[in-house]
Structure 1
């Protein structure tokens, strides 16, 4: 996915210095390693693909909107999703089916407008049963990350499907409207991964991974801001009118396709 407009100017200045200071990906293979990250899970789509997602309420999971469409651009039925919280080496802390999916009302799958797609690439999945355990605590959501701020990301991805990986130091290298451009390392399957501000009072989600890109040989990731876009999505989830747009709600039985769509680098 190409980078657009004045965003490339910001990246050209920050990319080289920021990437050199990034931490490496660390596989969270044990219970000790994974402590505090159990609310990040692998979101399976009928065994034919997956994204990463995170729990923000006991019965509500946040991911990227493009994850809930098949290769033809049709929504995947809610019952085809399974959220595997804290999945590690074949075992999850909790498994939940999904009963309802709501996509950001301004998101249009493969619209051809890269900026708009990434800026609205959010979806909420309501679980059939809430997750209520002392080990799995929903994450708080924070205000937008600032340019050059240190962030971290927890993700599942191709080649590391069976356990999450943590990159606890990467950076915001640029921003434009509701989009963050980050030095964080991602791959296929990492779509929907939570991007964290990690502070003394705990980890808070500031973005969701939407896409991969490249600038002058440096890999970068694009994320959706959780300021205004998330508020619009939550309003749509609650049935409130947002900018006169009707929320797209995917309910059980709507469609049986199971292909998962991931944005190409």
Structure 2
């Protein structure tokens, strides 16, 4: 299906309506033209090798609903995901951390680890909203702090000093557990950053519900790194990614607060109702 960039384009959080449009001025920032929907390759991963053992599902099971997003173990006790995955989409309220699990390496009826969160921390200034604005997407990032460190190999995030490897020719792998394939991860294996607008990367990494919070992986001389996380589906072809440089403050001191998460403005202990 052909799509055009218009001033009234609406975004979806990997499947649901959520944003006002990209302004026409933002189109001028694009480096490349996106591929057609028919040309997008989607690869199903059926592997127990790294990094797939450390990429998994952020699962919520409440009294009346269940939900899932994607997350990545980036340190023995830290899971990186999208902040909007930590809120009830209808009420905008955080859901109990006790109903949240990170199931790493989901592969059909198997998994590599069942990891229990102690709390979750969202980027400073993030506020859940039914229709978030594009300018706020770069805050759509969160860390889940685990009760016990995992023995799985973490997938490191791209460090600022490694950013020099990124060019307009760089190809990324966008990974996630999609609603249409909940029990095996899928990857868009060679997608690109088309441009930057409102501190957010616009990419041709196609997405759908469930893939929110999934990693945008890039190969470096030191191995795979997480360069971004999936935030929003724009259309059948495009998506919005929170880039690595937006997380630096969040990564600086990822600890559970002494007080209740609900009492701290930048800290939440919750999960979303179906991405």
| TM-score computed with the length of structure 1 as normaliser | 0.81
**Structure 2: gaps spanning 5 or more residues:** 1-10, 12-19, 258-263
1:58 corresponding residue in structure 2: 76
How far residue 158 of structure 1 moved from its aligned partner, in angstroms, is 1.1
1:250 corresponding residue in structure 2: 268
2:211 corresponding residue in structure 1: 190
Cα RMSD (Å) of the superposition? 2.6
Q: Residue 32 of structure 2 aligns to a residue in which SS?
A: helix
- Cα distance, 1:178–1:45 mapped onto 2, change above 3 Å: same
2:54 corresponding residue in structure 1: 39
Per-residue CA shift, 1:164-190, capped at 9, x if unaligned?
112221111111242001111211000
- Cα distance, 1:200–1:107 mapped onto 2, change above 3 Å: same
How far residue 22 of structure 1 moved from its aligned partner, in angstroms, is 6.8
Matched residues, number = 242
In structure 2, how many angstroms separate the alpha carbons of the residues matched to 1:88 and 1:239? Answer: 30
Does structure 1 retain, via aligned residues, the 8 Å contact 2:103–2:114? yes
2:237 is equivalent to residue 219 of structure 1: yes
1:178 corresponding residue in structure 2: 199
2:226 is equivalent to residue 208 of structure 1: no
2:136 is equivalent to residue 117 of structure 1: yes
Which range moved further: 56-65 or 140-149?
140-149
In structure 2, how many angstroms separate the alpha carbons of the residues matched to 1:250 and 1:113? Answer: 18
Task: Specify which of 155, 171, 175 is matched with residue 176 of structure 2.
Answer: 155
Q: Residue 53 of structure 2 aligns to a residue in which SS?
A: coil
2:113 is equivalent to residue 94 of structure 1: yes
In structure 2, how many angstroms separate the alpha carbons of the residues matched to 1:60 and 1:126? Answer: 5
In structure 1, how many angstroms separate the alpha carbons of the residues matched to 2:121 and 2:112? Answer: 25
**1 or 2, which has the higher strand percentage?**
1
**Structure 1: gaps spanning 5 or more residues:** 241-245
Does structure 1 retain, via aligned residues, the 8 Å contact 2:29–2:197? no
